[in-house]
Structure 1
Amino acid sequence: MASKNLQNIILLYKIILICGLCLVYSKAELQRFEHPIKPDGSLSILVVGDWGRRGAYNQTEVAAQMAKIGDQVDPDFIISTGDNFYEDGLTGVDDPAFEESFSNIYLGPSLQKQWYNVLGNHDYRGDVLAQLDPILRKKDSKWLCLRSFILNTDVAEFFFIDTTPFVDKYFNNPKDHKYDWRGVLPREEYLFNLLKDLDTALKESSLDWKIVVGHHTLRSAGKHGITFELEERLLPVLQENNVDLYVNGHDHCLEHISSPDSPLQFLTSGGGSKAWRGNVRPWSPEELKLYYDGQGFMTMKLTKYDVYIQFYDVFGNILHQWSRSKGLYFV
């Protein structure tokens, strides 16, 4: 009888646990935004990452080149791949670093478009909720930052993913750093819900291009290299759902790696300010299409049938370009 009661208690606990997960999952569903494309059916984007240093380490020079190229390509919006404010994020919504590293730096007319931002590991070292606070949008209307969200356009769907909580060392060996895990704990529950939401959203997507944006590297010949937690948990979701591009920062370089076993391309745009000269790991030349260990940024142009990528250095020179048409792969 006691054994049967124990079994009933265990069963009840499992039911409560499952229901609890369902409640958390329903609250964790990814928020969606819509962004129009141009009348000709195209979409142009600037991509920059690892930038927020109050103009130092050539951040101002990169911003100036972004503005010049922006005048040519007329971006519909700008993507930031994270590490928005160094070294330790923002101290709060009134931190002057917001203006000194963002509003006062990206001044060109072509940069006064909507910025869609993800968080990086350095952002988690400060008041992480400050970057998510609507007060910053009131200070500068082009700022929009969430942990994870979906951006719909008529030609492509963008899935912005919060990658920092995946990385074990930030929890197990933070060294002298303090990370703001409000809204993330319990961690495994958070990651389970995020991957579930992403998988569901990717499966439901009917658009021609699927692009996932995160801060951390999946494939990289740079200093940080492969983020093994993402390789184990995120990469299978991308491959199963035929994602076209994974766009990231984290390594302070510009990089294009082609997947050997799928159409998935890995694009690193982390050259917004401080670069790591000489930090390059050996990589297969058949896969490594670009590695540049300096500052710069990336542009993307998409139509229903084509995607066109260009990488620029801090002087505005084109370092690399790549294109793909649906059904035809150019590598």
Structure 2
Amino acid sequence: MEVPYKRVMSLYALFLVYFGMVGMLLSAELQKFNQAAKDDGSLSFLVIGDWGRRGSFNQSEVAFQMGKVGEKLDIDFVVSTGDNFYDNGLTSEQDPTFEESFSKIYTANSLQKQWYSVLGNHDYRGDAEAQLSPFLRKVDSRWLCLRSFVVNAGLAEIFFVDTTPLVDMYFSDPEGHSYDWRGISPRKAYISSLLKDVELALSESSATWKIVVGHHAIRSVGHHGDTKELMEQLLPILKANNVDFYMNGHDHCLEHVSDTSSPIQFLTSGAGSKAWRGDIKGLNGHGVNFFYDGQGFMSVQLTPLEAEIAFYDVLGKVLHRWNKSKLLHSSI
């Protein structure tokens, strides 16, 4: 029986569309968002992680101080480094935890700016896709959470990376937690695509400041310590593309660690609520500039020539301040 020509072409077209879409899913470029800077081109923002506990464990007190510092610095936006809702993320788009741990906590006028968020491992224990849903942006327009994406803010580009799928232990969790891996499978292809997308985006960036944000630490002396999968797979990409800062949460502390073989600074801001006082790996590691295992947050101020990083405790006291100069090379 002879198959009609038009039918063959229709099947061929469907074949191309299907496999074309699969290819897009496995190698799509990171979605980009534009963020306005100040009139003089400068930027200022706050960084907070590991926070969503309905105001408990000093979350409300940290939020209050964030509001004061945010007003003083006239911040442009807020970055969340993940573990946005404890203990097991959100149950759905309608979960009241979203408003109880976010909208009703960060109420200061200065914090009514865009929040850019990544997922943490605790977020993956719930309905991870609920946090990614545009529905939550209707509930609170500040909220923007995606797996991986880029924020173009003029003199700075911030690359948000979904680090949880890179960590082996979550796929054989000895504590028996379940994770929402929808959109991740097959894992190997997802990770390969993610790393290629991040590498491409970084290589194409001409921003004065390159900042990468993920939930898990690359270097840390806190409870969880270094993340070997990120050291092996992500760190070489950051070094090759002249990244200035890697910012993360996961360890419930504040810390500043310098890389010993590149200019990258590792900045942990995971002290938005419950902290682990005294739970550290030890402070004898090379490059440790600052460590604090109480609650707090971080601020970032950027100009074309300088970056200033500051860490604050639950009372708003500056615990550590650090400046980095940027040498601009003019073309002839």
Q: CA deviation at 1:173?
A: 2.6
- Code of the aligned partner of 1:213: V
Indicate the SS of the match to 1:130: helix
What is aligned with 1:186? 186
What is aligned with 2:239? 239
The structure-2 alpha-carbon separation of the partners of 1:278 and 1:168, relative to structure 1 and needing over 3 Å to count, comes to same
Q: Deviations over 1:100-141 (max 9, x none)?
A: 000000000000000000000000000001000000000000
Q: CA deviation at 1:28?
A: 2.8
- Code of the aligned partner of 1:168: D
In structure 2, C-alpha distance between the alignment counterparts of 1:25 and 1:97, rounded to whole Å = 31
After superposition, residues 277-316 of structure 1 pair within 5 angstroms as 277-284=277-284, 287-316=287-316
**2:105 paired with 1:144:** no
What is aligned with 1:249? 249
In structure 2, C-alpha distance between the alignment counterparts of 1:207 and 1:158, rounded to whole Å = 9
In the alignment, is the contact (CA less than 8 A) between 2:27 and 2:197 conserved in 1? no
What is aligned with 2:117? 117
What is aligned with 2:4? none
Indicate the SS of the match to 1:307: strand
In structure 2, C-alpha distance between the alignment counterparts of 1:225 and 1:26, rounded to whole Å = 30
**2:267 paired with 1:267:** yes
Indicate the SS of the match to 1:122: helix
Q: CA deviation at 1:305?
A: 1.5
What is aligned with 2:99? 99
Q: CA deviation at 1:29?
A: 1.7
Indicate the SS of the match to 2:121: coil
Q: Mind listing any 5+ residue stretches in structure 1 that lack a counterpart? A: 1-15
Q: CA deviation at 1:142?
A: 0.3
In structure 2, C-alpha distance between the alignment counterparts of 1:24 and 1:43, rounded to whole Å = 33
What is aligned with 2:6? none
After superposition, residues 22-171 of structure 1 pair within 5 angstroms as 23-24=23-24, 28-171=28-171
Indicate the SS of the match to 1:23: helix
- Code of the aligned partner of 2:301: K
- Code of the aligned partner of 2:183: G
Q: CA deviation at 1:26?
A: 6.1
The structure-2 alpha-carbon separation of the partners of 1:323 and 1:230, relative to structure 1 and needing over 3 Å to count, comes to same
CA RMSD of aligned residues (A): 1.6
Indicate the SS of the match to 1:252: coil
Q: Mind listing any 5+ residue stretches in structure 2 that lack a counterpart? A: 1-15
In the alignment, is the contact (CA less than 8 A) between 1:53 and 1:101 conserved in 2? yes
What is aligned with 1:217? 217
Q: Deviations over 1:24-55 (max 9, x none)?
A: 45653210000010012210000000000000
- Code of the aligned partner of 2:221: A
Q: CA deviation at 1:175?
A: 2.7
Q: Deviations over 1:82-104 (max 9, x none)?
A: 00000000000110100100000
What is aligned with 1:13? none
What is aligned with 1:11? none
In structure 2, C-alpha distance between the alignment counterparts of 1:277 and 1:302, rounded to whole Å = 31
In the alignment, is the contact (CA less than 8 A) between 2:249 and 2:268 conserved in 1? yes
Q: Deviations over 1:225-244 (max 9, x none)?
A: 00111111001110111110
In structure 2, C-alpha distance between the alignment counterparts of 1:326 and 1:109, rounded to whole Å = 32
Q: CA deviation at 1:20?
A: 7.4
Q: CA deviation at 1:263?
A: 0.4
In the alignment, is the contact (CA less than 8 A) between 1:77 and 1:114 conserved in 2? yes
The structure-2 alpha-carbon separation of the partners of 1:272 and 1:298, relative to structure 1 and needing over 3 Å to count, comes to same
- Code of the aligned partner of 2:186: P
In structure 1, C-alpha distance between the alignment counterparts of 2:83 and 2:174, rounded to whole Å = 17
Bigger mean CA offset, 318-327 vs 115-124:
318-327
Q: CA deviation at 1:176?
A: 2.0
- Code of the aligned partner of 2:136: L
Indicate the SS of the match to 1:178: coil
In the alignment, is the contact (CA less than 8 A) between 1:21 and 1:189 conserved in 2? no
In structure 2, C-alpha distance between the alignment counterparts of 1:171 and 1:276, rounded to whole Å = 25
Q: CA deviation at 1:327?
A: 3.3
